[in-house]
Structure 1
Amino acid sequence: MEFNFCINDVLPHRLNCIDGSMLPDSFESDDRQMIAECQQKVAIILDKIGVSSGIAQGLQTPVTSSDRLRNSDHKVYLLTNPDGDGGDGTVVGLLKIGHKKLYVFDAAGKHHELTPICVLDFYVHESMQRAGCGRMLYEHMLQAENINPEYLALDRPSEKLLGFLKKHYDLVHIIPQNNNFVVYDRFFSTNPDLLPGYKNSAKIDSSRAAGKSSFSITPASGRALVSRPVGAMDKAK
């Protein structure tokens, strides 16, 4: 995906993270004009690739946009091709994550109130699919967040994404939910102490990085939840 400015000047690394500040994680200047110019270009990038992702999904409103990210606690990981567009660089894909408050069933049918990290948008440009870009982007996010893939909730995953997770992370068995999010059995089974429904830390695989990614679980209250089929999302990986 090309732009009318040099992508490499805005996103200097192959893998970049944008948060609610609308600045790449590598940005260091204190100059107000440079900050404003960078934020403006980041907004253009997010809006354009967000529209492309939305079209791929058949959505009327993109999941990813500058307005949705600005001043939020969500993050967008962007993958670039520095050699693209005659050396100015191109944007290859995006992966948007963020915490969401969910009511989730475990394998025993009990539901819990959680705030896990969720995969909200995942898109690789059509010209760069089946080239390992999705794996590179997803793996970078897992390492950056210090989390294992089974501890992520997925918002309306497509069959392609489900197949991707099965192939690369051996995630197969989905626990049916009453919303459009998907969690796997290993969300709970690899951490049996999560089942009682109290605050816990989700230990990550030592092969990824040192540290922990934690989230809290409390028993859900209120009206009963009824399972329904999970929606599908047509995202290219």
Structure 2
Amino acid sequence: MDDFDFVVGRLLDPFRLEDGATAHVARLDDGAFVGSSGRHVRELLDAMGEGSRRAQGLGKAVTAGWQPLSSNRIYVLYNHRLALGILKVGPKRLFVSRGEKEGLVEISPLCCLDFYVVEGHQRGGYGRQLFDSMLRSEGVEPQSLGYDRPSPKLIGFLRKHFGLVQYQPQANHFVVFDKYWSSTSSRRPSGSTWGQRIQPTPSQHCAQVWPVKLPAPVPYRLGAEDFPMKTSAPASMASLARRPQAAPGRRSFQRAGSAIASNSSLSLVAAMAQGRL
């Protein structure tokens, strides 16, 4: 496409990404619309977007110069005076089904939104050059992309060059090939513990099974007048005092309670007999 009042190569050379034998690739984002050349960039994208619309039989162009690119990028294939093709990509949030009996899954792949090579220059390797440049720049694989309403020509292109054939039809008309699921699961970060059972360390095991040490029981004392404190133990009891004492059982507490109740009753009777009460 060469019906412009400016030289395409001179316009796109500042954004050149890769050089080729007969064509080059430029990568455009919103920064390409800034400055005096921004008007010509918009004119170029309008013309290429309209050519893509007619070739695919769409009612509305997917690529237009007046639209801000935001998170999208446009790759343009050109030589000195000609614009040969465009490829528009950007991230999309999709709800897709992996099979007829499975529910919807939310994914956010990079998507191919528009792909067009000018008539008369197709089947000359230009489409492959443009697509490969995009893959290298974005660091992705063909099977990891989503494809928005791909034309029969694009489906044939992907089958011929990348062996992508099988996919599940989606209600949103995006194509996600079956190989997408294997490619995303294999790209797991190094050192990741995803899907692995984490074993506790030896210290964690000890913290779970180490017995809890209970406090020693404290004898209950009513008062000094009922249970006078002795300053020293008999010599015969000294050896017994040094031995560890077992915790009192239930019957020991019952006998101790009965003794306390009996001593309290005797003290009360003695006090009444002496006239203190």
TM-score between both structures, scaled by the size of structure 1:
0.71
Matched, 1:155 2:165: no
User: Is the contact between residue 144 and residue 183 of structure 2 (CA under 8 Å) also seen in structure 1?
Assistant: no
**Residue number in structure 2 paired with 1:77:** 75
Q: Among residues 64, 82, 102, which one is paired with 1:90 in the alignment? A: 82
Q: Among residues 13, 29, 50, which one is paired with 1:19 in the alignment? A: 29
Show CA shifts across 1:113-138 (max 9, x none).
Answer: 12211100000000211101110001
RMSD: 1.8
Cα distance, 1:191–1:100 mapped onto 2, change above 3 Å:
closer
Counterparts of 1:135-146 in structure 2 under 5 Å? 135-146=128-139
**Residue number in structure 2 paired with 1:47:** 46
Counterparts of 1:158-197 in structure 2 under 5 Å? 158-192=151-185
State the distance in 2 between where 1:113 and 1:10 align: 40
Q: Structure 2: where are the runs of 5+ without partners? A: 17-23, 190-277
User: Is the contact between residue 77 and residue 96 of structure 1 (CA under 8 Å) also seen in structure 2?
Assistant: yes
- Bigger radius of gyration among the two: 2
**Residue number in structure 2 paired with 1:129:** 122
1:192 is displaced (CA, Å) by 3.7
The range that moved more, 109-118 or 135-144, is 109-118
* Higher relative helix content: 2
User: Is the contact between residue 7 and residue 90 of structure 1 (CA under 8 Å) also seen in structure 2?
Assistant: yes
**Residue number in structure 2 paired with 1:232:** none
Using CA pairs under 8 Å that are at least 6 residues apart, name the structure with larger relative contact order, 1 or 2.
1
**Residue number in structure 2 paired with 1:10:** 11
State the distance in 2 between where 1:179 and 1:119 align: 14
Task: Name the % identity.
Answer: 38
**What count of residue pairs does the alignment treat as equivalent?**
178
Q: Which amino acid aligns with 1:22?
A: A
Cα distance, 1:71–1:134 mapped onto 2, change above 3 Å:
closer
SS in 1 for 2:66: helix
SS in 2 for 1:127: coil
* Higher relative strand content: 1
**Residue number in structure 2 paired with 1:63:** 62
State the distance in 1 between where 2:57 and 2:152 align: 14
Q: Structure 1: where are the runs of 5+ without partners? A: 24-34, 83-88, 194-200, 204-237
Cα distance, 1:192–1:110 mapped onto 2, change above 3 Å:
farther
Cα distance, 1:100–1:133 mapped onto 2, change above 3 Å:
same
User: Is the contact between residue 77 and residue 95 of structure 1 (CA under 8 Å) also seen in structure 2?
Assistant: yes
Cα distance, 1:60–1:90 mapped onto 2, change above 3 Å:
same
Structure 1 stretches (4+) deviating beyond 4 angstroms?
none
User: Is the contact between residue 150 and residue 186 of structure 1 (CA under 8 Å) also seen in structure 2?
Assistant: yes
State the distance in 2 between where 1:202 and 1:41 align: 43
Q: Which amino acid aligns with 1:98?
A: G
Q: Which amino acid aligns with 1:147?
A: V
Show CA shifts across 1:72-115 (max 9, x none).
Answer: 11111000022xxxxxx110000001111110112462321122
Show CA shifts across 1:12-53 (max 9, x none).
Answer: 141001112335xxxxxxxxxxx4211111111001111111
TM-score between both structures, scaled by the size of structure 2:
0.61
State the distance in 1 between where 2:73 and 2:39 align: 17
